[in-house]
Amino acid sequence: MSSSKPDRERVDIAEIDVVVVGAGFAGCYMLHRVREMGLSVRAFETSSGVGGTWYWNRYPGARCDIESMEYSYQFSEELQQEWEWSERYSPQSEILAYINHVADRFDLRRDIQFETRVTSAHFDETGRRWHVVTDRGDELSAQFCIMATGCLSSTNTPDFPGLDAFEGDWVHTGDWPHEGVDFSGKRVGVIGTGSSGIQSIPLIALESDHLTVFQRTANYSVPANNRPMDPQVQAKVKADYRAFRQRNSEMPFGAFADVGRREESAVLATEEERAEHYDYWWIEGGLTFLASYGDLMFDADANATAASYVRGKIRELVDDPEVAEILIPDQVFGCKRLCADTGYFETFNRSNVDLVDVRKSPIEEITPTGLRTGDAEYALDVIVFATGFDAMTGALLGIDIRGRDGQTLGEKWSAGPRTYLGLGTAGFPNLFTITGPGSPSVLANMVPAIEQHVNWISDCIQYLRDAGLHEIEASIDAEDAWVDHVNEVANMTLFPGCNSWYLGANVPGKPRVFMPYIGFPMYVEKCEEVVAKNYEGFVTS
Ligand SMILES: Cc1cc2nc3c(=O)[nH]c(=O)nc-3n(C[C@H](O)[C@H](O)[C@H](O)COP(=O)(O)OP(=O)(O)OC[C@H]3O[C@@H](n4cnc5c(N)ncnc54)[C@H](O)[C@@H]3O)c2cc1C
């Protein structure tokens, strides 16, 4: 006799304590922490390995631009002592090897289900549990659902007409083929000149027959001055890694402590002092240039001095004055993510490289044999989309998440993300977001920012268990006040002053809301205060 039960009831639904979505830096450490707490946990990851960003972004030149001694975990003293970084800014392959080492060392893989995308997470108010479903048919019931889905994991590919009929190959830097891309003898087009474009363009130019770069917005970039790791520097940091981490945690971006906290004002310096100062930071290399004076992101006149210095450098580096003018940004310095490069501007002096200003003459369509702008057609064998991500909210909104009363996260965030501390959102009990919008996230050294969130979430779960409580949820009042505060802080700076992905401006139709919280130390203090006041601003039951 056939059963009359609906299919749903026949499914064996595993009951666990915690579901973790994603296995990058955030998901891996979260899994480790909850397992240490003795909770049952399952992590799901779309890709076939750990690493997140460093699994997906295998394009030539991909590397971190926060120094590796800082861009690494600190939760295990043994781990930070045993791992040796080979370069000041390690390449993608080395960071991926590191996170694989972490997965081996802490035996993480046994609780990660790879090649599995979480498609939905619905909160069951009666059972007070999250019902989680994957694209492979898994169904789980978990008390806590933790989103470690990444701020920069949902690739943004512009919807140009004709892409389907393109007869060559096309790739996105954020989903790079594992076997690599053979550019030899090829006519290549790179669309986009943000961080990924700026890192990959010099190497693609070397490998390809001809490279055309399609630029919509010129970006500021400073030399990375990457170099082999100085063993003495590495040994010095390791001799007191704890103090090094502490110093960095007190910095606005959670990094750069050992190059010094610079509080001087650019506007108060004389022209000669400024020139000497900027020369020093230009040669030193890296994103610390943004912190070379204390007022660069607060005072428009101060900012203009840095902008003018970098524009002058571009004019020096690029031989053809017309090309240099196209490469010179006109926006506020640093309000789009500052890039760090190795030979980017010099690449445009090569005879096999052309630059096309698509702000002047936009891309109209991809043709079977290349690409057509408003005034010309370009024959291409390979198109590289270095067009970035649907940042901070893309991966979260890619999952059908429903909280109380069946409200979807998409509905709740229709006018932009709303969270309390970037950790939780009202109406979605026991759902945590690691480096969610409203937290320092992409405006901090992200590995320490991730660890701080994972530690906070773990402590919170432990608190609930110890107190015999089942649920925690941001209160709407605390959330509203926090969103106002995030905006207030952003508006004290020059960061919201241009069409950046921090504001969602790179994705058509995305609400313009400044998403990251500026100021890592103040943020950490606030999180600690909330805990000290028994999770003030959250409702528990
Ligand atoms: C090229 C590049 C360079 C960067 N360099 C730096 C740097 O120098 N310094 C810095 O601080 N930050 C840098 N970042 C930011 C970087 O994203 C973070 O530092 C960090 O790696 C994020 O880790 P994560 O675990 O939070 O997210 P991710 O590494 O993005 O991992 C999230 C994972 O979740 C998975 N996932 C998403 N949705 C689902 C789903 N529905 N189901 C299952 N799995 C899912 C994804 O496949 C992904 O693997 C860089 C980013 C990029 C793209």
149 lines ligand 1 (CB under 6 A): yes
396 lines ligand 1 (CB under 6 A): no
Atom nearest to 22 CA in ligand 1: 34
- Helix, strand, coil % (nearest 5) of the chain? 35, 20, 45
65 lines ligand 1 (CB under 6 A): yes
CA of 300 to the centre of ligand 1 (A): 32
- Residue 123, both tokens: 């909160």
Residues 6 or more apart whose CB falls under 8 angstroms from that of 73 comprise 25, 29, 79, 80, 102, 447, 451
**Mutate-to-test residue for ligand 1 from 53, 132, 203, 288, highest number of ligand atoms within 8 A of CB:** 53
DSSP string, 252-278: TTS--GGG------TTTS-HHHHHHHH
Question: Which residue, by CA, sits nearest to atom 29 of ligand 1?
Answer: 52
Atom nearest to 62 CA in ligand 1: 1
pLDDT tens per residue across all 541 residues of the chain: 333 334 444 446 789 999 999 999 999 999 999 999 999 999 999 999 999 999 999 999 999 999 999 999 999 999 999 999 999 999 999 999 999 999 999 999 999 999 999 999 999 999 999 999 999 999 999 999 999 999 999 999 999 999 999 999 999 999 999 999 999 999 999 999 999 999 999 999 999 999 999 999 999 999 999 999 999 999 999 999 999 999 999 999 999 888 766 788 999 999 999 999 999 999 999 999 998 999 999 999 999 999 999 999 999 999 999 999 999 999 999 999 999 999 999 999 999 999 999 999 999 999 999 999 999 999 999 999 999 999 999 999 999 999 999 999 999 999 999 999 999 999 999 999 999 999 999 999 999 999 999 999 999 999 999 999 999 999 999 999 999 999 999 999 999 989 899 999 999 999 999 999 999 999 999 999 999 999 999 999 9
If 0-12 CB within 10 Å is exposed, 13-18 middle and 19+ buried, where does residue 500 land?
A: buried
Residues 6 or more apart whose CB falls under 8 angstroms from that of 16 comprise 40, 41, 42, 140, 141, 142
Give the Cα separation of 447 and 453 in Å (integer). Answer: 10
Longest dimension (CA), the chain: 91
Give Cα separations from 237 to 288, 293, 527 (angstroms).
18, 25, 28
- Residue 192, both tokens: 């986009």
Give Cα separations from 446 to 230, 233, 443 (angstroms).
23, 22, 8
If 0-12 CB within 10 Å is exposed, 13-18 middle and 19+ buried, where does residue 139 land?
A: middle
Give the Cα separation of 483 and 421 in Å (integer). Answer: 9
Question: For the whole prediction, is pTM greater than 0.85?
Answer: yes
DSSP string, 507-541: STT------SPS-HHHHHHHHHHHHHTTSTTEEE-
Q: Any idea which residue has 């600190």 for tokens? A: 74
Backbone angles phi, psi at 268, to 5 degrees: -85, -15
- Residue 48, both tokens: 């076939």
> In 3D, which of 34, 87, 27, 33 has the Cα closest to residue 52?
27
Three-state SS at 493: coil
pLDDT value at residue 260: 61
Give the Cα separation of 261 and 428 in Å (integer). Answer: 39
